[in-house]
Amino acid sequence: MSETRLRLILNPRAGSGAAARRLPLILQTMRKLDLRFEVARTTGPGDATRLARAAFDDGVDVIAVVGGDGTLNEVVQAWLGKDGEPQDGPELAVIPIGTGGDFKRTIGLSGDVDEAVCRLRAGHIRAMDIGVMHLVDFQGTDVTRAFINITSFGIGGVTDKLVNETPKWLGGKASFFIGSARALLRYRNASVCVEVDGNVFVDGPVFNVAMANGRYFGGGMMIAPHADPSDGLLDIVCLGDMKRREALALSSKIYHGDHIGVPKVSTTRGKRIVARAAPGEPDVLLDMDGETPGKLPIEVSVAPARVRVRL
């Protein structure tokens, strides 16, 4: 590992500045482990993607993301070529410091910095899928985005928009709780049609639909308890036409993954998902790993075993 070329992509603002504050500890631990590394710092939105693509071009062996789910999502965009086609790249590692921390739960990281850095040295490699989504951004442009964790639409997109307006110093769970509460008051169930592998899965009003590669979203909700990021499939979980009180009653179950099989919750698995809003429906916002990249319609496919993750 000492001869491996490792580049940290650091979002110094992640976790309300916690990533920058913890960097000296991270570097100290890496030096103790005789890791050869470089540090690249982001300076604004989208910068992590640029830095990751530069790492590809520079022949880096491992990219380690120091930040939250949003930073990780930006980095994963580098696994798409300029025409949106999936491409191979370096190994990927995660040193999770951020607001939500959902992907770390799926891959079994506690959030302890020493643990994450030690896995850089002694961890094994697991090939993981990514989702590739064609969508419409807020400027009306057709774009292609990748995700390694979860994309959803419905109240999830509204929640992300509001969470990103909430002060991050409150912490991940508090930020998501406040954002979710505000979204619950604002959101009205959207009428959509969702097809999975050519078959209609949903046609009508929904509270939320998640397309899951990982298991957690929303700051620790286990929305897809059986999702496996290495099985070549996405788990699709639909929370149907629920009233507010039904959604509130379900929320505690979702944190523990106990909502599967509850009335108005339906699930399936597939490789290709097409979703669109019903005619006349207001914009249905997307949630992609804690960010809001655009709105329906979307077309999602799976790129199997695309990213080699160091665990």
Give the pLDDT confidence score for residue 172 in this predicted structure: 56
Instruction: Identify the CA nearest to 150 among candidates 218, 63, 238, 232.
Output: 218
Mean pLDDT of the chain: 90
What digits encode the pLDDT tens for the residues 57-76?
Answer: 999 999 999 998 989 999 99
The pLDDT-based confidence of 114 (bands split at 50, 70, 90) is confident
Over residues 24-38, the mean pLDDT reads 91
238 strand-pairing partners: 209, 266
d(CA 154, CA 295): 10
Token code pair at residue 222 = 């286990």
The pLDDT-based confidence of 174 (bands split at 50, 70, 90) is low
Instruction: Identify the CA nearest to 286 among candidates 210, 230, 235.
Output: 210
Give the pLDDT confidence score for residue 15 in this predicted structure: 79
Give the pLDDT confidence score for residue 89 in this predicted structure: 96
Least confident of 27-36, 129-138, 157-166: 157-166
Give the pLDDT confidence score for residue 56 in this predicted structure: 97
Residues whose CB is less than 8 angstroms from the CB of residue 279 and which lie 6 or more positions away in sequence, other chains included:
none
Q: The domain 6-123 belongs to what CATH superfamily?
A: Probable inorganic polyphosphate/atp-NAD kinase; domain 1 (3.40.50.10330)
Does position 4 have pLDDT exceeding 70, yes or no? yes
- CATH 2.60.200.40 in the chain is located at 130-305
The pLDDT-based confidence of 291 (bands split at 50, 70, 90) is confident
Does position 251 have pLDDT exceeding 90, yes or no? no
- CATH 3.40.50.10330 in the chain is located at 6-123
This prediction's pTM? 0.91
Higher-scoring residue by pLDDT: 131, 34: 131
CA angle 234, 239, 245 (to 5 degrees): 155
Over residues 184-207, the mean pLDDT reads 94
Does position 127 have pLDDT exceeding 60, yes or no? yes
Over residues 128-154, the mean pLDDT reads 94
Please provide the DSSP assignment of the chain as one string: -TTS-EEEEE-TTTTTTHHHHHHHHHHHHHHHTT--EEEEE--STTHHHHHHHHHHHHT-SEEEEEE-HHHHHHHHGGGB-TTS-B----EEEEEE-SS--HHHHHTT--S-HHHHHHHHHHPPEEEEEEEEEEEE-TTS-EEEEEESSEEEEEHHHHHHHHHTTS-GGG-HHHHHHHHHHHHHHH--PEEEEEEETTEEEEEEEESEEEEESSS-BTTTB-S-TT--TTSS-EEEEEE-S--HHHHHHHHHHHHHT--TTSTTEEEEEESEEEEEEPTTPPP-BEEETTB---EEEEEEEEEEEEEEEE-
Fold of 130-305: Tumour Suppressor Smad4 (2.60.200)
The pLDDT-based confidence of 173 (bands split at 50, 70, 90) is low
Give the pLDDT confidence score for residue 87 in this predicted structure: 96
